[in-house]
Amino acid sequence: MEIAAGAGLAASGRFGPEHASEDAVLVRQAGAGDEVAFARLYDRYGRMVHGLLLARVGRNDVDDLVQDVFLAAWRRLGALRDPAAFGGWLATIARNRATDFQRRHQGCEELPDHLAAPEAASTRLEARAVLAVIRGLPPAYRETLVLRLVEGLTGPEIAGQTGLTAASVRVNLYRGMKLLREKLGT
C-alpha cells in the first residue's frame, strides 16, 4: 500500500510543541498497527529523517535508508516509552542507521544519478558541490544546515522535530551558516 506524502503538518511549514501531543496520539495508533497513522508520522518526519541521513551518507542511498529508518521505527514503536518524544527517538534511529551504513560502506561518498538529462547537470553539479562543502562542516552544523537549506525546515521546526533545544539549533544554524559562507567565499 502506498500513501502519498505531502499533506502533513511538516509540509505546511508549521511545527510546534503543541504537535507533540498529536504525535503521541498518532504513535499510539501506529503502535496498534494503524498504517494510516504511521503514514501521517512519515509525512511529518520524512524530511527530518531524510535530512539527517543526507548530512552523512550519499544521496542515492538516502531514500532506501529513510525506508529502513521508518521500518525500524514501526517495529520498535512498542519500546517507545514516551510517545511525545517520537521525533527525538526517530532522529536517534536515523543517526544510528547512518553510522551503521557508513561503517559498512567506508570510502563510499555518493552513488550518482546518471540518468537525468545533461541540461540539468550544471544545477545538480553545483547543488552537490555545495552539499559536499556542508558535509565537510562539523556534524552539528552539517545536520542543521541540511535540514534548513535542503529540507526547507525552519529553525523552530528543526528543534520541534529533532528534540534539540531551540537555542542549540539557533546557534548551530548561525555558526554553521557563517562557516559555510566562508567556505563558499560569499
The CB-of-140 to another protein minimum distance in angstroms stands at 16
- What cell numbers appear for 161 in the block? 522535530
Between 20 and 133, whose beta carbon lies closer to another protein? 133
Q: Minimum distance between the CB of residue 170 and another protein, rounded to whole angstroms?
A: 6
CB of residue 73 to another protein, shortest distance in Å: 8
> What is the closest distance, in whole angstroms, from the C-beta atom of residue 25 to another protein in the complex?
18
Greatest Cα pair distance in the chain: 52
User: Which has the closest alpha carbon to 41: 84, 95, 98?
Assistant: 84
**Residue whose grid cell is 559498512:** 104
The residue among 12 and 124 lying less far from another protein, judged by its C-beta, is 124
Least distance in angstroms from the C-beta of 29 to another protein: 14
| Cβ-contact 75, 174 below 8 angstroms | no
User: 125-156 as b/e, with b when 16 or more CB fall inside 10 Å?
Assistant: eeeeebbeebbebeebbbbbbbbbbbbebebe
What's CA 113's distance to the chain center, in Å?
20
Closer residue to another protein (CB): 25 or 111: 111
If the CB atoms of residues 25 and 126 are measured against another protein, the closer one turns out to be 126
Q: Which is nearer to another protein, 25 or 71 (CB)?
A: 71
Q: How far apart are CA 64 and CA 132, in angstroms?
A: 20
